[in-house]
Amino acid sequence: MQLSYWELKNWFSNVDYTVVGSGIVGLHAALRLRERFPDSKILVLEKGMLPHGASTKNAGFACFGSLSEIIDDLKSHTEQEVVSLIEKRWQGLQLLRKRLGDAVIDFKPYGGYELFLNKDESSYTECMSKLPFINEILKPLFKTAVFAKEVDRFDFKGIHEYLIFNPFEAQIDTGNMMQALLKNAYAENILILNQQAVTSFLEKGNGVEVVLGDFSFISKKVLFATNGFSSQITNGAVKPARAQVLITEPIANLDIKGTFHLDRGYYYFRNIGDKILLGGGRNLDFDTETTTEFAQTEIIQNKLEQLLKEVILPNQDFKVAHRWSGIMGIGNSKNPIVSQLSENVYCGVRLGGMGVAIGSLIGKELADLI
C-alpha cells in the first residue's frame, strides 16, 4: 500500500487500540473502549466489505437456547456453567436492546417455539420429562417458568402434537442492528477500515506491530473479535462452523409468527413479514461445514427445501428467493473465550452460534480486560 502523509497521520499514527473485526463483538468492544478512554484513538479493521463472519448473516434470533439445546449442553457442561451461560446470553440481549433501542433493531417479542419431528421420539420424550427441571434451574434468573407445552397451532406436518413455547424469545432485524452499531461507532469517532485483513502481528516493546499485507503500523493494544476465524490465535480452541440459510419469496396468508427451533437447534426458522427464513443442517455434514468458506452445498440445501415442503409449509406453494451462508465460531466448550493472549494482545471469541445474544456482553468484557 502506498499511503499518503495524510492517510498515515489520521489513520495509522498514534493508535491506542486496534480492534480486529467489526461485528457485534468488535463494535461493542470499540464503543466500550470509547466510554472508558474518551480521548483515545480507536481503529477497527475489517477484512470484509461488511462484517465478515456471522454478524450480518445470522437469522436475527434474540434467543438464549432452546430446551433441547440446554438439555444437550448439560451433558457436557456443569449445571452451574449452563445457567451462567444462559445468564450471559440474557444479559447480552438486554445490553444490545439498551444500546440501540427496540424500535431501531425491530425487536418483535413473538416468543420462540421448539418442534419435534415424529421420528424424534427420544428427544421429544426427554424434553417433556426434563422441562420442569430446566424451568426450576432457570427460575432464579427469569423469576417464572421459561418453557411451556403448547399444542401446535401453525399447521406444521410430521411433528409431535406439542411444541415447547418460550415467551422470552424474540426476533430482531440483523441488518438494522449492524447498521445502527456502525452509526454509533462513527458518531463516537471510532475509525473503521474495511477490506483490511490482518496477516500477522508482533509484540514490540510497548505496542504491537500490526501487518496488513505489505504494510504495517504500531498499535498500543490489539483486540481480536474474529470469532469463527480465530483458530490460529487460539491454537485450535475455536473452529469455524458454516451455517447455510435461505429465504422464500412472499407467501400469501402466511400464519407463522415467531422464532422456531428443530433438532437441538441444528435447524431454525422464522417469519420475516410474509417470508420464511430457514437455516441449519450443519449436522448432516460436519466435516464439510467446518470451514471458513462461504458457500452452499446440495445436501444441506435439499434438506432445507424438504423441511419447507414437508413440515413448515406443507399446504402452500413457495419459491426460494435467496441463499447465503455465515461463519460461526464453536469449540469443545460453549463458554466464550475472553482472554489476554500476550502483554498487549487480547481476544473475545467462540460465541457458539449465539452471537446476537452474547456478543454485546463479550465485546464489553473484552474491552474491560484492558
Query: Given pLDDT bands bounded at 50, 70 and 90, which one contains residue 2?
Result: confident
- Residue 369, pLDDT > 80, answer yes
Percent of the chain past pLDDT 90, that is, above it, reads 98
Write down the pTM of the prediction. 0.96
Cell numbers found for residue 176: 438494522
CA distance 210 to 257: 46
Q: Which domains does the chain have, with CATH numbers?
A: 5-56+175-235+335-368 (3.50.50.60), 67-91+101-171+237-330 (3.30.9.10)
Q: Residues near 253 by Cβ (< 8 Å), separated by ≥ 6?
A: none
- Residue 1, pLDDT > 80, answer no
> Could you give the angle at which helices 79-100 and 121-142 cross, rounded to 10 degrees?
70
What is the maximal distance between C-alpha atoms in the chain? 68
Q: What's the angle, vertex CA 73, arms to CA 97 and CA 132, rounded to 5? A: 85
CA distance 160 to 162: 6
Find the mean pLDDT for residues 303-329.
96
- Residue 52, pLDDT > 90, answer no
- Residue 325, pLDDT > 90, answer yes
- Residue 162, pLDDT > 80, answer yes
**Residue 261 · residue 112 · CB < 8 Å:** yes
Percent of the chain past pLDDT 70, that is, above it, reads 100
Of residues 246, 301, 297, the one with CA closest to residue 276? 246
In terms of phi and psi (left: phi > 0; alpha: psi -120 to 50; beta: otherwise), the region of 97 is alpha
Find the mean pLDDT for residues 186-208.
96
pLDDT tens digits for 227-285? 999 999 999 999 999 999 999 999 999 999 999 999 999 999 999 999 999 999 999 99
Q: What does DSSP assign to residue 55?
A: T
Q: Which runs of E-coded beta strand occur in the chain? A: 15-20, 42-46, 61-62, 112-115, 148-151, 162-166, 170-171, 191-194, 200-204, 207-212, 215-224, 239-248, 259-262, 267-272, 275-280, 320-330, 337-342, 345-349
**Residue 180 · residue 100 · CB < 8 Å:** yes
pLDDT tens digits for 104-151? 999 999 999 999 999 999 999 999 999 999 999 999 999 999 999 999
Of residues 17, 13, 22, the one with CA closest to residue 45? 22
Cell numbers found for residue 310: 414437508
| pLDDT top residue among 96 and 205 | 96
pLDDT tens digits for 334-352? 999 999 999 999 999 999 9
Averaged pLDDT score across all residues of the chain: 97
Cell numbers found for residue 253: 396468508
Q: Residues near 9 by Cβ (< 8 Å), separated by ≥ 6?
A: none
Query: Given pLDDT bands bounded at 50, 70 and 90, which one contains residue 322?
Result: very high
Q: What does DSSP assign to residue 175?
A: H
Residue count (the chain) = 370
**Residue 4 · residue 345 · CB < 8 Å:** no
CA distance 32 to 338: 15
Phi, psi of 243 (to 5 degrees): -120, 125
Cell numbers found for residue 90: 440474557
Q: Which runs of E-coded beta strand occur in 49-178? A: 61-62, 112-115, 148-151, 162-166, 170-171
CA distance 12 to 25: 22
pLDDT value, residue 315 = 84
- Residue 180, pLDDT > 90, answer yes
pLDDT value, residue 205 = 86
CA distance 93 to 354: 10
Tally Cβ neighbours within 10 Å of residue 311.
18
